[in-house]
A and B are shown apart, each in its own frame.
Chain A
Amino acid sequence: MSSETIKFWPIVFKQFLFKWNVNKDMFTTLAILQVIALFFSYSGSGSFHYMDGVEFNIHTSDILIVFTMIWLLVIGVQILRPMNALTTYTMTANRKVDHMSNIIWLIVMSGIGTVTVLLASVLLQLIMNYISGSIAIMPEVPLTFWSYITGAVTTFIYLVFAGAVGYFFSVLSQWNQLVKIIIPFFLIGTLFIVPAIIPDDLLISIFTFIFLEKVFMVFVLKMFVIISLLFAASMGIGNRLEVRK
């Protein structure tokens, strides 16, 4: 039988579909996490008492976003598990195809995550209005269409970021098994050591620079660069790895 020549993108698309089919059970995990997040949100992320026995609770969908970010972090890590890798290469693939299809899959999953977060936050409002018996006080300025869009895009970017971080650490730990041990130490270590070395102001300004950018487009641009760097680094490190050892 003669050999067939093969094109890159059609194979990436096939691998994406394959990963989509194989990892459908991830949606169950997402649903469970978001239900838990709804419970937490229900009790409110902050509350204060006002005189005359009136209690105010602040309800936001922050917890929903954080839980969905955790979900993306986890699926970013697990997509490279040996079991997934083995079947990927039993079908047609090379490293580039594998990474590209994984990244597209993570971005699509982030998109789905965003939609579910938005829907769940609507659900949260409904619960607050109808079940808890309290009166919802909406923001004084009604939300415009644009602010809904920026909210959705911001959520989406946070989710892709979480996925990219998970994926990057997964590639790192495949590159060297020691990373699995080092990362927890590193993370705990940074909690104590980094604040000791780097002044608080600098830490806060780094955090603010990345996550709390006020101008929306600048935020999008910054995160785009950071996420691209994470994915590029993953591809760079992962490209030399052997499938089986």
Chain B
Amino acid sequence: MEIIKSTDLVKRYGSRLALDHLTASILSNSITGIVGRNGAGKTTLLQIIAGFTQETSGNIEVFSARPFNSLHVSANSIFIDDFLTFPNTLSLVDILEEGERFYPNWHMDLAKKLLAYFELDEQTVHNYLSKGKKSTFNAIFGLATRSALTIFDEPTTGMDASVRSDFYRALLKDYLAHPRTVLVSSHHVDEIEELLEYVLLIDQGKTKLHMDIDDLREYLIGVSGRTELLEQWVKDRDVFFRRRIGETETYLVIQNNVETKDLEKLGFRVESISSSDACVYVTNKHKGGIDDVFRDH
């Protein structure tokens, strides 16, 4: 069942187009990574889904309702990001108790265990925590709600590597025990790819790719070989990335719709492209990469 459906979704901030006719749908009880470069429109999309921001035009449905200002969507979703703050007048455990009153599926036991595991003092005030600890607490809050729709927008900002991997593991374990729809946005696809079932890649406010994570791992291949042969062969194909290797050879990244054997017969070397690299290549505006900037100097 589709829990989120967006068609031709547009969001405009002044003259800047944050979402440009974005169409996508998210299945219920799945973990989807919302991936894209800085300013691609990830946060805008997630805020519209959570009902915090109003779309400029187009159509968006969450739980079959328009999310903006919807009590139904608010009751069934949680939006966690690093701007989330809690009042100074409440201690961490007070905040958890408030959460328990609002969220019917709230899991206090899990929340308290996670607080203890991540060494967060129950009596501290949220504002006095370090940046990483704040993110950790926010993430714990998000997990404990067990909302039908759980949205994490860059949840690991400021967390150190071990806390990050612990958090993702906790998310995965709790998701397996209590399936729900989870959206996670991140710059680091490699970090969350173990967790994800689907990837929604957004580029310049549009859906660039939306596919199974396993398909994304095989979406692109890297081919290297003698420049003239390779360029001749690749003439009619889309090249996502191109780099010269030494004087005579070239490395290209292309879509994986050819038989590896055929390529190897031609004397080319083929290598796989990881999902995070695939995301970078697909959204690359300059086919040559950063090296091009320095070419003439």
Please give the residue numbers on chain A whose beta carbons come within 8 Å of chain B beta carbons, in ascending order.
1-6, 8, 11, 14, 17-18, 21-25, 83-84, 86-87, 89-97, 239-240, 242-245
Q: Is the CB of B63 within 8 A of A3?
A: yes
4 smallest CB-CB distances across A and B, nearest first, come from A6-B75, A243-B52, A3-B76, A91-B102
* CB-defined A-B contacts under 8 Å, sample of 18: A1-B146, A1-B180, A3-B148, A4-B76, A4-B104, A5-B72, A11-B71, A14-B102, A21-B94, A23-B89, A24-B89, A87-B87, A90-B141, A91-B98, A91-B102, A92-B102, A93-B74, A243-B53
A-B interface contact total, Cβ < 8 Å: 95
Q: Is the CB of A239 within 8 A of B71?
A: no
Q: Could you tell me the distance between the alpha carbons of A5 and B39 in the complex, rounded to whole angstroms?
A: 35
CB of A166, distance to nearest CB on chain B (Å):
19
Q: Is the CB of B104 within 8 A of A244?
A: no
B233 on the interface (CB 8 Å rule)?
Answer: no
- Identify the stretch in B78-86, B157-165, B242-250, B264-272 within 8 Å (CB) of chain A at 4 or more residues: B78-86
Please give the number of chain B residues whose Cβ is less than 8 angstroms from any Cβ of chain A in the complex: 41
Q: Is the CB of B75 within 8 A of A4?
A: yes
Q: Could you tell me the distance between the alpha carbons of A95 and B86 in the complex, rounded to whole angstroms?
A: 19
Q: A6-B76, A11-B75 are in contact. List 7 more A-B contacts (CB 8 A).
A: A1-B148, A4-B104, A5-B72, A14-B101, A86-B85, A92-B75, A244-B47
Q: Is the CB of B89 within 8 A of A239?
A: no
Q: Is the interface of B mostly helix, strand, loop or mixed?
A: loop
Q: Could you tell me the distance between the alpha carbons of A50 and B135 in the complex, rounded to whole angstroms?
A: 70
Q: Is the CB of A83 within 8 A of B70?
A: no
Q: Is the interface of A mostly helix, strand, loop or mixed?
A: loop
Q: Could you tell me the distance between the alpha carbons of A97 and B71 in the complex, rounded to whole angstroms?
A: 8
Q: Is the CB of A244 within 8 A of B89?
A: no
Contacts A83-B85, A86-B84, A94-B70 given; indicate if A244 touches B75 (C-beta within 8 A): no
* Chain A residues within an 8 Å CB radius of B89: 21-25
A interface footprint on B58-77 (CB within 8 Å = 1, 0 otherwise): 00000100001111101110
Q: Is the CB of B179 within 8 A of A1?
A: yes
Q: Is the CB of A83 within 8 A of B71?
A: no
Q: Could you tell me the distance between the alpha carbons of A4 and B147 in the complex, rounded to whole angstroms?
A: 9
CB of B268, distance to nearest CB on chain A (Å):
49
B25 on the interface (CB 8 Å rule)?
Answer: no
* Chain B residues within an 8 Å CB radius of A25: 89
Q: Is the CB of B53 within 8 A of A93?
A: no
* Chain B residues within an 8 Å CB radius of A6: 71-72, 75-76
Contact of B90 among A8, A21, A95 (CB under 8 A): A21
